[in-house]
Each structure stands twice: as structure tokens, then as C-alpha cells.
Amino acid sequence: MMSNVRRMVSLFKGVCRTRTCPVHTWTSGAGLVLQSRSTDVFQNLALEDWIEANVDLRQRGVLLLWRNRPAVVIGRHQNPWTECDLQAATKAGIHVARRRSGGGTVFHDLGNLNLTFFTSKKNYDRRRNLKMITDALRRVRPELDVQATDRLDIVLNGHLKISGTASRLRRDSSYHHCTLLHSADRSALSAVLRPSTSGIHSNATPSVPSPVANLVDHAPTLQWEELLEALVDQYNEEFGCTSALTSIDPSDEASFPGIGLFVSELSSWEWTFGKTPKFSVRTVLDLSEHRSAQLHLEVKNGLVASCQVLVPPDWIPQSLADQLSQVLVGERFCRHGAAAAAVSTLLRLDGTGGRLEELSKAVLRAMG
């Protein structure tokens, strides 16, 4: 155990193993290239936090390469209910995670490579990072027409997006991460990247959809390992050092002390859903016999802050509908769990099988 820690510490103290790096290409010191062995989105996001918190980036930068089992990753200030169909995701075993950096929603899977460039604030240069990537691609497949755009995407043949970027700036450090579509499963995308429920009015950061493509569609012989190697070589060349690709295991608490806390935070409901900017839901609920009710919910911090259900006066008494509204206030905006339990208690009290039950279930269905 201790030897692990010492090894990690020495890695990050960054003894540049081979040659001294010329000062003008980097402020000083070496770059370090790491590859995560984990495919768990929360562990990898936690690893980013850990590196940012524990590694002195003033002397050297770090490049982290990682990929995840299928997951939907939303930006820091986005609304998971508008970006993703949460029921479909849960059913498919797809995790939903909120990252720390801004930007839009991405679908991760094992065919989608993530690169994170950790640097000091001074050396933060996203265009340079993207140039490194396009240079690497051109080197390994010269026939590929890849370009970085003004919006910091990388496009193939002028219009097909193969990479999107996001970043995070703190007081002393920064990171820029981006995706690179090698061989992602795009069919799984469409089933999940759509709103959970209709009628959401939100000022959260929206996602900008674009046509995407996989590298293998245009360079079928490009293997994953070949791509990684090309990127590592180009990184070393661009930033002036020789760093071998070091494989790390973010689940090893001994090598990454404190990473468990980052993982718990990132996988918590409070972070993923509770951090959603305030939004409202206004929708019409279809009831039997061609009747309908109006639902208006305000959601703050992922919890129902206020709820109003307006029913036709001859259908059930408005007071009964108000009881339903009351029961939902303070609960998570989610059709399962505490809201369902509260509704079920109400139904047990006031009779099941009736219109109140129908209304309650319609309201719950409208909740994420």
C-alpha cells in the first residue's frame, strides 16, 4: 500500500525520466500522461477532481485519458430532466452524471475517448490542446479532414462533429476536457437524449445538437490503441517532453487518498439533480372521458417548491386536488420514492380506484 502512495507521489512530483525539457516549450518540468483503468463515470469524474486538487500544476501539465461504460453526462448548469429521459436511462442501466465543467450534454460509452488537459491557469490554452489532437489524427491517418472550429468542436469533413469541449476554471487551476468519438454506439443515444417529461420551462444551459460521426466510420482500420498511442506521442511532441502512458486505478483509495469522497459527492442525488437551476413545469394532464387537468409545478434544487393542480369543478372537488398538491411539496421531483409514498398514503386515506387515483398517477407521471 505505502509503496503505491509513494509511487503516485513521485509520479506527480514529476521526475521527468528521460531528458530535460527545453524551457520555452513549457514553463518548466514535464508533462504527465495518465490512462484511467476505470470505466465508471463517477470514478473518472472524481479522478479529475482529485488531480485538480492534489497535483501541483504550476510545474507541469497532466493529460488524462479515460472512457466510460454507457452514461449520460450533463454540464454543470444543465437540467437533467430536459436533457435525458431518466426512466429510459434507468431501464437501460445507463448512469446519469453531472460534471463540474460547463457546456452541454454528452453520451459516453466505451467507444468515446475522453481527454482531460490539466494545466495551471497561465498555461490554459484550449486551442493548443485541440491542435494537438488534430495533429495526432492527421499523423496517423493523413487522409482525414479534421479541423477545430471556432466553437472548439473538432469536425470531420467540415461538418461532422467528432469532438466537443468543456472546461472549468478555478482560482489556481484549470482543466479542459473533450470527447473524441472513435466508435460510439449512436443508436443508444436517441433513446435516451430527450426530455423526461414535457412542459419544462427552464433557463438552464441548453445543449446544441449537431450531426456526429465516429472516426472508424471514416478510417475503419484505426484501432483504439493506435489512436491512444498517436495522441500520447503528439502530446509529448507538442508540450515538449517524453512521458510514457501510465495506467492508473482510481478505485485505489490508497493511491488516491480522499477520492472516495469525490465519488460519493458526484454520485449523490443532491449533486446530480439537486444542483439543477430553478425551473417550472406547466403541462396539461389527459384524464379519462376526454377531460383534462392543468399542472403547474415549480422545482427548486430538484425539490417541488410549489404545486398546483387545476381540475374541472365537476370532476372532483378542487380541495381534493389541492390535497394532492400539498402532499408533493418538499419532495424530490421524481415519480418514485418519497413522492410516490406520500401519494399512496393519500390514496389509501381517500379511496383508491377513483378519480383521485387517476389524477395522482397522471401527476406522478409528469414528474421526471
Partner 1 sequence: SVSGECTSGVHSSPFFCFSCRCEFPSAANIFHIRYFKTSAVHRDEVVTVKTPAFAESVSEGDVRWEKAVGDSVTEDEVVCEIETDKTSVQVPAPAAGVIEELLVPDGGKVEGGTPLFKLRKGAGAAKAAPSPAVEAPAAAPPSPPPPPPPPTPTPAAMPPVPPQAPKAQPVSAVKPTHAAPGPSAAGSRGESRVKMNRMRLRIAQRLKEAQNTCAMLTTFNEVDMSNIQEMRKFHKDAFLKKHNIKLGFMSAFVKAAAHALTDQPAVNAVIDDTTKEIIYRDYVDISVAVATPKGLVVPVIRNVETMNFTDIEKAINALGEKARKNELAVEDMDGGTFTISNGGVFGSLFGTPIINPPQSAILGMHGIFDRPMAINGKVEIRPMMYVALTYDHRLVDGREAVTFLRKIKSVVEDPRVLMLDL
Smallest distance from the beta carbon of 347 to partner 1, in angstroms? 8
In whole angstroms, what is the distance from residue 58 CA to residue 41 CA?
27
Residue 249 per-residue DSSP state: -
Counting contacts by CB under 8 A, is residue 318 touching partner 1?
A: no
Judged by CB under 8 A, which of 278, 282, 291, 296 binds partner 1? 278
Judged by CB under 8 A, which of 60, 100, 108, 161 binds partner 1? 100
Residues 21-80 that bind partner 1 (CB under 8 A): 27, 75-77
Counting contacts by CB under 8 A, is residue 338 touching partner 1?
A: yes
Q: Which residues of 283-305 are buried (b: 16+ CB within 10 A; e: fewer)?
A: bebebeeeeebebebbbeebbbe
Counting contacts by CB under 8 A, is residue 340 touching partner 1?
A: yes
Residues 341-360 that bind partner 1 (CB under 8 A): 341-352, 360
Provide the 10 A C-beta neighbour count for residue 329: 15
Considering just the CA atoms, what is the radius of gyration of the chain in Å?
A: 24
Helix axes 355-365, 338-350, angle to 10 degrees: 170
Interface segment toward partner 1; rule CB under 8 A; list 8-16, 187-195, 280-288, 339-347: 339-347
- Binding flags for partner 1, 117-136, as an x/- string (CB under 8 A): ----xxxxxxxx--------
Counting contacts by CB under 8 A, is residue 296 touching partner 1?
A: no
Residue spans of alpha helices (H) in the chain: 2-13, 41-54, 80-83, 86-91, 126-140, 186-192, 215-218, 224-239, 259-267, 269-272, 318-328, 338-350, 355-365
Smaller CB distance to partner 1: residue 166 or 295? Answer: 166
3-state helix, strand, coil in the chain (%, to 5): 35, 25, 40
Judged by CB under 8 A, which of 32, 45, 73, 152 binds partner 1? 152
| Residues at the contact surface with partner 1, assessed by CB under 8 A | 27, 75-77, 100-104, 121-128, 151-152, 164-171, 203-205, 269, 277-278, 300-301, 303-306, 323, 326-332, 334-352, 360-361, 364
